[in-house]
Structures are given as structure tokens and as C-alpha cells.
Amino acid sequence: MGADEVELRRLRMPLTTPFRSSHGVVSERDVLLVRVDEGWAECVAPTEPTYTEEYVDGAHAVLRDHLVPRLFDGADLDGVAGHRMAKAALRMAVVDDGLRRSGRSLAMHMGAVRERVPAGIALGIPSSMDELLEDVAAASAEGYQRVKLKIRPGWDVAPVKEVRAAFGDSLALQVDANGAYGASDPAHVDALVALDGFGLLLIEQPFAADDLVAHAGLARRLNTPVCLDESVPSAAAASAAIAMGACSVVNVKPGRVGGLDEAVAVHDVCVAAGVAMWVGGMSETGLGRAANCALAAMPGFTMVGDLSASARWFPVDITEPFVVEDGTLPVPTGPGAGVELRMDVVESFTTSVEVLRRA
């Protein structure tokens, strides 16, 4: 990997649906774009370090101070420990630059076997049951092929039961706990076991990321597949989790595993083990969404991903918006990630630009 110039650009993009965080209501997404020469990528690190340790200000700092200097020196980015979302963005921008120069698409580069990928949606925890039912009805009307509900202790069996009662057993439904359940809390475990009766496609990441033993124990008690997200930062971690029986499905996110190459390594581990996969989401702009669609077009991704329309997150996107048609999203075929940035829109949301050059 070589490069002459790297740009770190911050954007504040209005969200379609503001949400509540520990700091109050969040109505914008703080986005970090990375440009390497002519190639662009998006860093998926969120504003706060609540999903993993990574957050956007930290990613910006480690890119500027540690990763970009290594890129310019031709050194291995893995000389820096962790910081996978930051590394993934820099690596993706390098790949985008190379593919643009050769006129090839990421989908071609990834070995895509589909021209369109099934669209799925993740619904956050709403303020009421009525709101949840409205959200599910809207998602179904928009054609999403499956719905994922976020759950947490106290908001699990009741919403799943209500959704099943309202929409029937044919709705493809799964839940994601983001590690909110305590493996040593009997009430928490009982609630997860109670979810087994609702025909869910999977239960995602009920326990803490580092607790593979607890996930294996739950998996033995359930007919519903256990899926891991935060527990899988690498292909090696995927191998360990599968060997332990901690999951039978893996949610793959390029940012979480340090880039597309590692995502492909996870894909290959799962295919070899007969473990199903789908592509997760980090409320990406069209730029990150394009890469996710290319990844999801690989043969091992047999389950519906968190691949939604741009409008799910952003009223105005920085690329041509992704639109769900017949329950699917297109796999972009243009050079690089396959989409072009609308630079006028990018400029209108930009809050800072930092350009670093090889010495």
C-alpha cells in the first residue's frame, strides 16, 4: 500500500430519525470520510464508544497520528493494535483508489455472485409498543425481507410476542441485544430462553463480547440460532467461536474486523464451517453502504443483512440514495466502491478537512 495524500474529512449529516443517547437527543451523524489519493471510504466509528471501544474522534486521531504515517512509510497498519474501524476505512480508501485507477468495481474485486442483495432493516428500541408496531408495518410496506428488533432486559419477550401477534409467523424476524444481558442473571437468561418459542431467525449477541462460554451455553439450550457480532473482531475469533459452539450464524461488518480482507477471511472461515452469514450495518452513508452491498453479494452471505435504504438513516445522502425495490438493493457496478460522491452535498455537510501528505 502506497499513497501520496490522505484527506480526513468530517461531516455532520442530519438523521431521518433522531434518537436518544446518554447526551440527549442526537439528530445528526458525525461522519469521518477518508480519501487516499483518488479513493474514498467511510469510517464507521460512531460518536460515542458504546458499540466497541472505537469512536469517531479517536479514529480520527489514530488515523492522523499513527495509521496514515505508517501508510506513507509502507509499514504494516497492524503495527498499531486494535482500532479496526480506523484501519478498515484507510484500507478501503486504498482499495477504492486502486480499483478506480483500473476501472474495476469492488463487487467484481470481491467475487460478487449477485446483482442485487436482499434488503433488511434494524429497528431501534421505540418509545412505545404502538410505535414499534407502526415501524414494523412501515418496514413491511417498504418491502424489507426481514426485520430485526433491538432488545434489552425488560424489552424482549413482550415486543416479540406483540409483533408475532400482529404480523404472524411468516414475518422473517430476528433480535439483537448488543450484549445487554448478564449471563449470570437467571432472569436475563430466562427471558432469552423464552424467546425460543417465537420462531426467530436468530438471537444476536445476547452477552458481553468476550464471553464466548456464555454464548455456547445458551446455544446448547436454544433451538434458535445464536448469532455473534461484537464477539467477532477477526477471522481467528470467528474460528474460536465456531469451535466452541458459541454461534451458528455470524454478522459480518468490515469496520468491526479491520477491513474487507479480514471480512473475506471471516467469510471463508464460516463457509468452511457451514456457518451462515449476513452483512451488518453501522448506519453508513451511501459510500459505506455500497461496500456493504458488494460484500453481501459474495456467495457465503445466505441470510438477509442490515442493508437498508439510504432514507432509513439520512434524508439527504452523499451518494445517489440507495432505494429498496422489490425488497432488494442494487450491488453497485461503477469503478471502486461503485458509487460517486455528490461533492456539493459532501461540502454542504463538511465541518473540517485535514490533508496529510507524504514527506
Residue number of the CB atom closest to Mg ion: 229
Minimum distance, C-beta of residue 137 to Mg ion, in the bound complex (Å): 23
Q: Please give the Cα distance from 138 to 256 (Å, whole number).
A: 29
Cβ nearer to Mg ion, comparing 36 with 214: 214
Minimum distance from residue 129 beta carbon to Mg ion (Å): 22
**Which of 176, 211, 262, 317 contacts Mg ion by CB under 5 A?**
176
Residue of 37, 229, 262, 317 interacting with Mg ion (CB under 5 A): 229
Region near Mg ion per CB under 5 A, out of 147-155, 170-178, 195-203, 265-273 = 170-178
Shortest Å distance, C-beta 261 to Mg ion: 22
Which C-beta is closer to Mg ion: that of 6 or that of 250? 250
Kindly identify the residues of this chain, within the stretch 330-349, that bind Mg ion according to CB under 5 A.
none
**Is 306 an interacting residue with respect to Mg ion (CB under 5 A)?**
no
- The verdict on whether 148 is a catalytic residue reads no
Binding range to Mg ion, per CB under 5 A, among 24-32, 72-80, 223-231, 287-295: 223-231
* 262 is a contact residue toward Mg ion (CB under 5 A): no
Min dist CB 52 to Mg ion, Å, is: 11
Shortest Å distance, C-beta 210 to Mg ion:
15
Q: Whose Cβ is closer to Mg ion: residue 229's or residue 262's?
A: 229
Task: Compare residues 106 and 219 and give the one whose CB is closer to Mg ion.
Answer: 219
Please say which residue, 105 or 205, places its beta carbon nearer to Mg ion.
205
- Interface residues with Mg ion (CB under 5 A) are 176, 229
